[in-house]
Amino acid sequence: MPKYILTIGLEVHAQLTTRSKMFCACPVEYGAEPNTHTCPTCLGLPGALPVLNKAAIEKTLLTGLMLGCSTPPVVKWDRKNYFYPDMPKNYQISQFDLPLCLGGGVPLYDFAYPKDAQKSIANPGKVVKLTRIHLEEDVAKSTHHDRFTTIDFNRAGTPLMEIVSDPDIDSAEEAVAYLGSLRQILLYGGVSDADMEKGQMRCDVNISVRPEGTTELGAKIELKNINSMSAIRRAIKFETERQIDALERGEKLIQSTRRWDDDRGETTLMRTKEDAHDYRYFPDPDLLPLHTDKLLASVKPHVPELPHEKRARFEQQYSVSAYDASVLSSTLGLSAYYEEAVSARPDVSPKKVANWLLNDYLGTLNSKVSYVIPSVATEPQTINYAIPAGFGSSTSVQAPSTQFPISGQAFADFVYQVESGKISAAQGKEVLPVMLDTGKPAAEIIKAKGFEQVSDTGALEAIVEQILAANPDKVAEVKGGNEKAMNWFTGQAMKASQGKANPKMVTEIVRKKVLG
Ligand SMILES: [Zn+2]
């Protein structure tokens, strides 16, 4: 049986976070009462004229800059002609031959791969090449009921960015990593909320297989209606097997479009190339071509530190592991909170702050269910940060730092209490959940729990002196260089103070008193 090579290209539609629509002033609002945000332009009424949304163009250019695309000096808008009830003016305004962005690429982040695939990444550090990014208007949203269809024009005319990759993706796992990485970059740039569940990011998959040793790509088959990260992986797996089975039977595959049925876990034929649309693109006479140089220059200063840059900086600046740096930079909210805490207490090791934040802090919040771990990918699902988990298994909610119940300063103060030896790590694990629950400062909780260590030199000296006097034989052992005897004294002092003595200080006092 010959081996087969899989080739995948993705077309991702991302809704932009603008306040108004692409060609009119109607507000963009997810979940509003149907057909309340409409006007003659976005309803496609005769004579209504489009006006360009500058913010949408800027956000698309910013995306291009983040992904290393180039921008033609002049871009234009074209009419894509077709008749469908969700587009009553019978054409969609899109971009054909002069889009806002060309080329570029999406770096695949290790942590965006499905969790089970992270240990065996075939092409580490791969950058998936992009063909283009263009800007168009979204269509209205149809909802099909048993015997009729309803339509909501709130979505009609909202800015939609289409990111088209080259056929440069080699596996279902890479497709997941591509979407996760892209989503993280879009969130970093603040250009889209990119929530697949809400339809803010939608994806069509072009997939073909060919026998190993052949160079010509197999028939391109497009999969529609994929609306979650896990569905993408399953859809690609199913379709790959279906196509290989067909080739094995000697069938010839033809270019076609298929619909993914998530419940049944299979694809079904929608249409073949013969009945594909001819969109008869032509330049929209209502919109002038656009010179891009000035806009591009005004957007350039807004290119943010990208996820991989932030990760590298965290590793270097804060000496955290590559894994911890990835989790800390998984969302802007979490990374900002971490840096807020670190800068609040320069006397506490940033690595310790990261340990407490990733293990105990987020673990505690997760166990309360009220908080969903922010990350770059897929279905809302609570994951436990104590167990290494990748983005592929986590959620889609961007966490603003307001979701953290205590300030970065208060959290850093807590870490200081533990790391300076004021309380033990075990006591810290008791204090932190109370802090997160009540919002009270660490010092107050430590006092209330009676955890305060005795660090008063005079008091400790008195305790040690008493024990030394009662155990002359052990004193002799310490003098003879027996380290175990030294530890025995520390243990006795801890016992005498009911565990509240600062062990470091006790050892120092014993050493000073016995050895001089
Ligand atoms: Zn409108």
Spacing, Cα 43 to ligand 1 middle (Å): 7
pLDDT, tens digit (0-9, with 9 covering 90-100), for 42-88: 999 999 999 999 999 999 999 999 999 999 999 999 999 988 889 98
Domain termination residue (choose one: 425, 448, 471): 448
Q: What are phi and psi of 507, to 5 degrees?
A: -60, -45
| C-alpha 405 to ligand 1 mean position (Å) | 40
Mean pLDDT value of segment 271-285: 84
Residues 94, 212, single domain; the answer is: yes
Query: What distance in angstroms lies between residue 52's CA and the mean position of ligand 1's atoms?
Result: 12
Q: Is the pLDDT of residue 422 over 90?
A: no
Give the lowest-confidence range in 298-312, 324-338, 393-407: 393-407
- Write the single-letter amino acid at 242: R
Beta-strand runs (E) in 101-219: 101-102, 105-107, 127-137, 141-144, 149-152, 159-165, 201-211
Sign of CA dihedral 305, 185, 59, 292: positive
- Looking at every residue in the chain, the average pLDDT score rounds to 88
Is 293 found in the same domain as 311?
A: no
Write the pLDDT tens digit of every residue in 465-476.
888 888 888 888
Q: Judge whether residue 393 has pLDDT over 80.
A: no
Of all residues in the chain, what percent carry a pLDDT higher than 70?
92
**Same domain, residue pair 262 and 351:** no
For residue 64, the enclosing domain spans 4-300
Residue 505: per-residue pLDDT: 79
Q: What is the mean pLDDT of residues 401-426?
A: 87
Domains contained in the chain, number: 3
Dig out the tokens for 64 from the structure. Answer: 């291009």
Report the amino acid identity of residue 270: M
Same domain for 162 and 232? yes
Output the CA 187–ligand 1 centroid distance in Å: 26
Q: What span, in angstroms and rounded, lies between the C-alpha atoms of 216 and 42? A: 43
Instruction: Specify the pTM.
Output: 0.82
- What's the CA-to-centroid distance between 21 and ligand 1, angstroms? 7
Output the CA 139–ligand 1 centroid distance in Å: 12
Q: Pick 374 or 255 by higher pLDDT.
A: 255
CA–centroid distance, 48 to ligand 1, in Å, is 10
Asked if residue 272 and residue 318 are part of one domain, the reply reads: no
Res. 509 pLDDT band, cuts 50 70 90: confident
Domain boundary among 448, 467, 493: 448
Question: What integer is the mean pLDDT of 131-160?
Answer: 95
Whether residues 421 and 468 share a domain: the answer is no
The yes-or-no verdict on residue 401 having pLDDT over 80 is no
Q: Where are the alpha helices (DSSP H) in 293-441?
A: 293-299, 307-318, 322-328, 332-344, 350-355, 362-367, 408-419, 425-438
* DSSP 8-state code for residue 423: S
- From the CA of 57, how far away is ligand 1's center (Å)? 17
CA of 332 to the centre of ligand 1 (A): 32
Predicted pLDDT at 493: 82
Q: What is the mean pLDDT of residues 163-175?
A: 97
| Per-residue model confidence (pLDDT) at position 370 | 43
Between these two residues, 299 and 473, which has the higher pLDDT value?
Answer: 299
Compute, in angstroms, the gap from residue 161 CA to the centroid of ligand 1.
18
Whether 376 and 481 share a structural domain: no
- In the structure, what pLDDT confidence band is assigned to residue 18 with cuts at 50, 70 and 90? very high
Q: Average of pLDDT values for 397-416?
A: 77
Distance CA 398, CA 404 (A): 12
- Residue 50 C-alpha to ligand 1 middle, in angstroms? 9
Residue range 84-127, pLDDT digits in tens: 889 989 999 999 999 999 999 999 999 999 999 999 999 999 99
Residue 180 sits in the same domain as residue 319: no
pLDDT above 60: residue 334: yes
What pLDDT sits at residue 495?
82
Q: For the chain, how many residues are written?
A: 516
81 in the same domain as 44: yes
User: pLDDT tier at 275 (50, 70, 90 boundaries)?
Assistant: low
CA angle 114, 115, 120 (to 5 degrees): 85
Local confidence band at 368 (pLDDT 50, 70, 90 cut-offs): low
pLDDT tens, position by position, 115-142:
999 999 999 999 999 999 999 999 999 9
Answer with the residue of higher pLDDT: 266 or 397.
266
pLDDT at residue number 280: 92
**Does the pLDDT of residue 38 top 90, yes or no?**
yes
For ligand 1, the distance from its centroid to the CA atom of residue 15, given in whole angstroms, is 16
Does position 402 have pLDDT exceeding 80, yes or no? no
pLDDT beyond 70 at 494: yes
The rounded percent of the chain whose pLDDT value lies above 90 is: 67
Binned at pLDDT 50, 70 and 90, residue 389 comes out as very low
User: Average pLDDT for residues 317-330, to the nearest whole number?
Assistant: 94
- 42 CA distance to ligand 1 centroid (A)? 4
Taking the C-alpha atoms of residue 11 and residue 403, their distance in angstroms, rounded to an integer, is 33
pLDDT at 454: 67
Same domain for 411 and 493: no
CA of 23 to the centre of ligand 1 (A): 7
Name the residue with higher pLDDT: 391 or 179: 179
CATH code of residue 505? 1.10.10.410
Could you give the CA distance from residue 289 to residue 494 in angstroms, rounded to a whole number?
79
d(CA 21, CA 29): 10
**β-pair type (221-226, 256-261):** parallel
How far, in Å, is the centroid of ligand 1 from the Cα of 213? 53
Q: In terms of domains, do 58 and 191 share one? A: yes
Rounded Cα gap, residues 227 and 291, in angstroms:
35
Separation of CA 229 and ligand 1 centre (Å) = 32
Residue type, 295: L
CA of 51 to the centre of ligand 1 (A): 10
Q: What is the pLDDT of residue 449?
A: 84
Is 184 in the same domain as 257? yes
What is the whole-number distance in angstroms between the Cα of residue 252 and the centre of ligand 1?
47
pLDDT of residue 375: 41
Q: What is the mean pLDDT of residues 390-398?
A: 29
- How many Å lie between the centroid of ligand 1 and the Cα of residue 93? 14
Residue at which a domain ends, from 270, 300, 330? 300
